[in-house]
A and B are shown apart, each in its own frame.
Chain A
Amino acid sequence: MELHRLTAHQLSDLIAQKKTSPKEIAQDLLKRIKKTEKKVKAFCFLDEKDVLRQCAELEKRTSHGALFGIPVVIKDNICVQGQDTTCSSRILKGFKPPYDATCVRRLKQEGAIIFAKGNMDEFAFGSSCETSCYGPTHNPWDLKRIPGGSSGGSAASVAADETILALGSDTGGSIRQPASLCGVVGFKPTYGRVSRYGLIAFASSLDQIGPLAKDVQDAAILLNVISGHDGQDSTCADVKVPDYTKALVNNVNGLRIGYPKEYFAKGLNTEVKDSVETALGLLRKLGAQVKEISLPHTGYAVADYYIIATAEASSNLARFDGVQYGHRASDFDNLLDMYAKTRGEGFGEEAKRRIILGTYALSSGYYDAYYLRALKARRLIKEDFDRAFKDCDCIVTPTSPTAAFKIGERIDNPLAMYLSDIYTISVNLAGLPAISVPCGFNEKGLPIGLQFIARAFEEEVLLRGAYTFEQNTDYHLKKPEL
């Protein structure tokens, strides 16, 4: 049986009926990977022996968990005890965390198999997975194209049936955009829904860990496991976690959906626009009340984000100085020189660009003009959503303005790359939950994604909308040929 093609909920049923075992699932995936991974290059670390060791451990367990025997790929910026965790950066090569991230600890408790580390843009700085020190991941739908980023390895491995589930992190779209470009489901929870303990920080006020999955039901199952309060992260909210699988109802009757006119303006590819408009038509036919809304500050989100995110990153990445972990330059004159050479050698180009931009925005004499102004603009962007949610329950938009672009196409033009996230960034600035689900294919056969956005801590509304859409379409069932 081709177990790798199945979803987590299908495999859980088979395990419950004793028709398969964790070991059989893992072996089938490892066989699949032998065939496909040299083309896709989704992983930066995979330890087959450790995977089989985990399976053997699981077989001894008396009580099963919610993810018993289900392989999960972990993005390379999430700490797994004793396993390489490098943020796909030279500066962290060889780092083996002495502890598990909270989400990884919860996965292990629920019987998941920690399967591999997903390739990513270095320190999650990118929208294409090309800035990884291990080289790019390839889009399973067209190997000449990027999978999106920064959680490109996580998304591509789910799309290529190289894993069943994956975790990514989303600071400005890094779960949703690759999910959209790879034709899978990507879920960015509300800021504070999932503990960030053990997630190597990029921008602490924006980062959030979330699921990548083959369908909405699987995303809800994984969200159940990773959500909830954690004393190790003081920004992790003490808000009750509902059973998200209960929100999977095939019914949008009366759901008030707004589509922001600013997201359907210049810069949106026509094929993407057509697919999203068709999707809105279907939701209307299924009983949703669909109407146009306005988020007037949308046009300022990318500029705002690139000040706030880089400012926070420049501060967070100060810890990589060659003292406690990772790379240290071998030839230097004194301590300051050691820092500068270590960081000059260890960071890639995009990391340097962002650290320098963020340092500048926070530097004496420029703080008010850049950082303080950006914090004020951030409030305006959030207030746009507050106003919109007075009249609607969720907002529907394209996830990305285009389908997957070619490897190399935007790498020399940082600004064009930054604009890839134009529809996802505002959500992080406002701290809201959002999901991307497949909603079509363009003429070249590349996937297109549909984004649902809801109020803070209303993940259930997203699941209802996305699940209903999925149950009435079959885009999520199509697989790339590899």
Chain B
Amino acid sequence: MDIEYVAKLARIELNKQEKKRLSTQLGDILAYIEKLKELNISSVEPMSHVLPLKNVFRRDEVRPSLPQEKVLANAPHAAGNNFSVPRIIE
């Protein structure tokens, strides 16, 4: 596994030590997971969910939602009635 590339995809900064440790450990785990290749699964349908659920619909009704100040109360940075993030367009 290219640990730097995958960490970048996952948006996680890792230090040098972490990269080294995780590479070794993930290598062991992936080697263990290889055992799934023993199974003959070419004709098996994938199962992403155990319940026989079809689309679950609800009425499209206006319902009360949480007040803005309650939602923003947990934000690390808020400005006015908005979440505040670094500038993304130069």
Contacts and interface: CB of A to CB of B under 8 A. Distances in A.
B22 A376 contact: no
A323 B75 contact: yes
A414 B28 CA distance: 9
Nearest to B35: A303
Interface string A272-304: 000000000000000000000000010110111
Contacts of B85: 323, 335, 338
Given A300-B39, A303-B32, A303-B36, A356 B11 contact: no
B39 A307 contact: no
B16 interface: no
Interface residues of A, number: 67
A473 B39 CA distance: 42
A447 to B, nearest CB: 29
B44 A380 contact: yes
Nearest to B88: A335
Interface stretch (A155-163, A367-375, A434-442): A367-375
Contacts of A98: 66, 70-71, 73-74
A303 B33 contact: yes
B69 to A, nearest CB: 10
B39 A377 contact: yes
Interface string B1-44: 10100111111111100100110011011101101111101001
A314 to B, nearest CB: 6
B62 to A, nearest CB: 15
B53 A334 contact: no
B76 interface: yes
A363 to B, nearest CB: 6
A382 B50 contact: yes
Given A376-B41, A377-B36, A415-B28, A321 B11 contact: yes
Contact of B47 (A95, A192, A349, A379): A379
A41 interface: no
Nearest to A237: B51
A151 interface: no
Contact of B14 (A302, A352, A360, A375): A352
Nearest to A322: B76
Given A328-B76, A352-B14, A375-B48, A334 B86 contact: yes
A157 to B, nearest CB: 26
Contacts of B60: none
A378 B12 CA distance: 29
A374 B29 CA distance: 14
A78 B67 CA distance: 21
A352 B18 contact: yes
A326 interface: yes
Given A326-B76, A379-B45, A352 B32 contact: no
Interface string A306-346: 11000000100010011111111000101110111101100
B44 A379 contact: yes
A416 B4 CA distance: 25
B36 A339 contact: no
B50 A414 contact: no
A191 B85 CA distance: 38
Contacts of B58: 231
A96 B28 CA distance: 38
B47 A382 contact: yes
Given A306-B29, A415-B29, A373 B12 contact: no
A372 B46 contact: yes
Nearest to B43: A376
B17 to A, nearest CB: 10
A307 B13 contact: no
Contact of B66 (A99, A234, A372): A99
Nearest to B42: A376
A205 B58 CA distance: 21
Contacts of B39: 297, 300, 373, 376-377, 380
Contacts of B37: 373
Given A303-B36, A306-B29, A380-B41, A335 B1 contact: no
B76 A332 contact: no
Interface string B73-87: 111110000010111
Interface in A56-111: 94-96, 98-99
B76 A376 contact: no
Contacts of A370: 33
Contacts of B36: 300, 303-304, 307, 373-374, 377
17 contacts: A96-B73, A192-B51, A300-B36, A322-B76, A352-B12, A352-B14, A356-B10, A357-B26, A357-B29, A373-B39, A376-B39, A376-B41, A377-B41, A380-B39, A380-B41, A418-B29, A430-B50
Pairs A-B, 10 closest by C-beta atoms: A431-B50, A344-B13, A375-B46, A328-B76, A379-B47, A325-B74, A234-B56, A340-B13, A376-B41, A359-B10
Interface of B: 1, 3, 6-15, 18, 21-22, 25-26, 28-30, 32-33, 35-39, 41, 44-51, 53, 56, 58, 66, 70-71, 73-77, 83, 85-88
